[in-house]
Amino acid sequence: MSQKFSFKLKSTSNKARRGEITTAHGTIQTPAFMPVGTCATVKAIKNDDIIKSNSEIILGNTYHLMLRPGADRIEKLGGLHKFMNWNKPILTDSGGFQVMSLSKIRKINEEGVEFSSHIDGKKYLLTPEESMKIQYQLGSDITMIFDECTPYPATHDVAKESMELSLRWAKRSKDAYKKREGYGLFGIVQGSTYQDLREKSAKELINIGFDGYAIGGLAVGEGQEVMFKTLDYTTPLLPIDKPRYLMGVGKPKDIIGAVKRGVDMFDCVIPTRSGRNGQAFISQGTINIRNAQYQEDLKPLDEECDCYTCKNHSRAYLNHLVKSNEILGAMLMSEHNINYYQNLMQKIRTAIEENSFDKLISN
């Protein structure tokens, strides 16, 4: 018998929340960071190593997977979990953001978005109904509604029009979504940086009724101060008994600041993208392993880290691998960064449990 989809709030430290999400493929301790597995793979990391990092959920993407290998094929092969041999939870982004950011030609209308593939130029129409169908075929534990990611900056009129279109698409997404035990559908609050629009979006999404609520349209160039200000008035609008997900965030300080404001879930390409480009997150901040100062440095990336990379290889070796463009360099750096992020999330969860989160963020 599969588990019912649910969220349990276990403890708080001021606005910071410690919880647990239950899904068909297991539980997720929150606040949680989801490594991004856009094309059914977290770039340069094997599944075993993702699991060893204590990652409990990964993110896949409707847009990329519908283009290749195709949702019909993935469904035929047993769904995304079986296809990539990942038996923990998966959240899939609806494709809305990628349609806006990647497709060569796009046309938005009430029905959905017509776009040309960034791979071969082939034309597609992605609608709320089609996005729900694809995510059902993939077998996503958490499905995201289809929305328009409002560009930044946007005038109030443009943001209002975009947010209201997303609300209509949210209702169509909910109507088209096929319920299954242990699976959930999240709404996405839009409205750019306008408080009145965020309030209307949140209120109407709650009226439609979802299993969780995401905050979209941030981390798109507005800067940390504006993002935090928007979160200050947006997260209190959302139900206490449902998970809150800040999409596409972010750097460690962004995550800590968003947890402080009541957010439960995060995803970002930063740890793996940075790893592939030679940047490591360490206890003291970040380092660029390409720098000449590390050519003969026998210390691990981070002496406080117990990941495979730090236990087995020196900065000197990593400097050599990355500068030589060796694939192993990208793998070892990315693995370390994912471990750094998951260790950070564990510290955050412990601090909330001990009601010492403010102490953590002051260090």
Express each pLDDT in 8-20 by its tens digit: 999 999 999 999 9
- Residue pLDDT, tens place only, 25-36: 999 999 999 999
**CA-to-CA dists, residue 14 to 260, 310, 353, angstroms:** 8, 35, 11
* Class of domain 6-268 (CATH, top level): alpha beta
CA-to-CA distance for 34 and 257, rounded, in angstroms? 17
| pLDDT score for 96 | 81
CA-to-CA distance for 14 and 137, rounded, in angstroms? 40
Q: Which positions are catalytic?
A: 93, 267
Residue type, 149: C
Instruction: Give residue 51's pLDDT band: very low, low, confident or very high (50, 70, 90).
Output: very high
| pLDDT score for 343 | 98
Q: List, by residue range, all CATH 3.20.20.105 domains of the chain.
A: 6-268
For residue 232 the two structure tokens come to 């200050």
| pLDDT score for 102 | 77
- Residue pLDDT, tens place only, 184-193: 999 999 999 9
CA-to-CA distance for 320 and 295, rounded, in angstroms? 7
CA-to-CA distance for 190 and 199, rounded, in angstroms? 9
Residue 273, classified by CB atoms within 10 Å of its CB into exposed (0-12), middle (13-18) or buried (19+), is middle
Instruction: Give residue 313's pLDDT band: very low, low, confident or very high (50, 70, 90).
Output: very high
- Residue pLDDT, tens place only, 157-206: 999 999 999 999 999 999 999 999 999 999 999 999 999 999 999 999 99
For residue 61 the two structure tokens come to 């993407």
CA-to-CA distance for 333 and 276, rounded, in angstroms? 7
